[in-house]
Chain A
Amino acid sequence: MATFNVHVTIENKPGISDPEGETILNDLVLKGTHKTVSKIKTAKMLKFTIKEKDKKTVQSKVQEICDELRIYNPMVSKVTIDVFDS
């Protein structure tokens, strides 16, 4: 068994409005001098520390947790799971 760090990113699916991201873009970033930015999306990240035998197992285990416990709501959100060695 090894220890892994996992970043679970929860963000809105394409087409679901993200008023917070739009506000940060339009009312903060674009009002300054940073005119090259075209999009900002907000997301929530959960960082897991988990002990499993390999990265593949970690990936499926964390996906299972996210689905079973509704860590994200599949109607509006998607999750991205990134696994790192500890």
Chain B
Amino acid sequence: MKVGVVVFPGSNCDRDMYHVLTDVFNFDAQYCWHEKALPKNIDAVILPGGFSYGDRLRAGVIAAHSPIIKDVKKMAKKGIPILGVCNGFQILVESGLLPGILLKNESLNFMCEWTNLIVENNKTPFTNQFKLHEKIPIPIANGEGRYYVDDDTLKQLKKKNQIVFRYSQVINGSSHRIAGVCNQEGNVVGMMPHPERAVESEINPMDNKPSSLIFESLLAKIGVGN
């Protein structure tokens, strides 16, 4: 099984993600340049963090028009697991694959710190190894990380179980303290925090096991490593 890591101009967490997928979890991963088609034999797609197109106009909006997004949308329809992390989440939102929008943090600061997430949906391909409401210590690193949805959409998200992660406390002013959501089908997940920065004990001063479950969930979903 193959995981595609999409690379846009300005992606900067693509190599961290590739390293974690291949060296830590033994996935067969492949970089996918945004101007090319996604390989046909791909089993999961990850849109990594970074600053695609320098966040010009609005974080993620220009990358959302990249040629590869057409293929990502097709894969999403087929039910293939797709994860967007940080800028990847912003791109999924701007491409219409996920609801809502990510606004500037209420403090207007770029925030780089450890947070605690609460798992609110453990049925997605990236959370199936978690217990419901399990805590994940995980870092955020963003300037436009304040998830916003209007009240009607928030009601829908709750009703359809689309809220995947919430912060344990108010971090940046996000609606309902939301840190990650999924589509109605549950196969497309977006999250602001960086799991690829939290799965190795060398760089995680907290507990690296919970973040690892995000990747172990994907392993459980699409099969064992190569």
Mark A residues whose CB is within 8 Å of B. 16-17, 19-20, 23, 69-71, 73, 75-76
Contact = CB atoms under 8 A, between A and B. Distances in A.
A16 B149 CA distance: 10
B113 interface: no
A75 B151 CA distance: 11
B15 to A, nearest CB: 29
A70 B153 CA distance: 19
Nearest to A71: B57
Given A19-B106, A75-B148, A76-B148, A70 B101 contact: no
Contact of B103 (A23, A70, A71, A76): A76
A75 B100 contact: yes
Interface of B: 57-58, 61, 64-65, 94, 100-101, 103-104, 106-108, 148-150, 153, 173
For A16, A17, A69, A70, the residue with the greatest tally of chain B CB atoms inside 10 Å of its CB is A70
Contacts of B149: 75
Interface of A is mostly: loop
Contacts of B108: 19-20, 23
Contacts, number: 29
B176 to A, nearest CB: 15
Given A20-B104, A76-B148, 13 more contacts: A16-B103, A17-B106, A17-B173, A19-B106, A23-B108, A70-B64, A73-B61, A73-B94, A73-B101, A75-B100, A75-B101, A75-B149, A76-B101
B115 to A, nearest CB: 20
A41 B172 CA distance: 20
A70 B59 CA distance: 12
A38 B58 CA distance: 28
Contacts of B94: 70, 73
Contacts of A71: 57
Among B64, B103, B153, B173, the most chain A Cβ lie within 10 Å of the Cβ of: B103
A70 B61 contact: yes
13 contacts: A17-B106, A17-B173, A19-B104, A19-B107, A20-B104, A20-B108, A70-B61, A70-B64, A73-B61, A73-B94, A75-B100, A75-B101, A75-B149
A69 B106 CA distance: 26
A71 B65 CA distance: 11
Given A69-B65, A70-B64, A70-B94, A75 B150 contact: yes
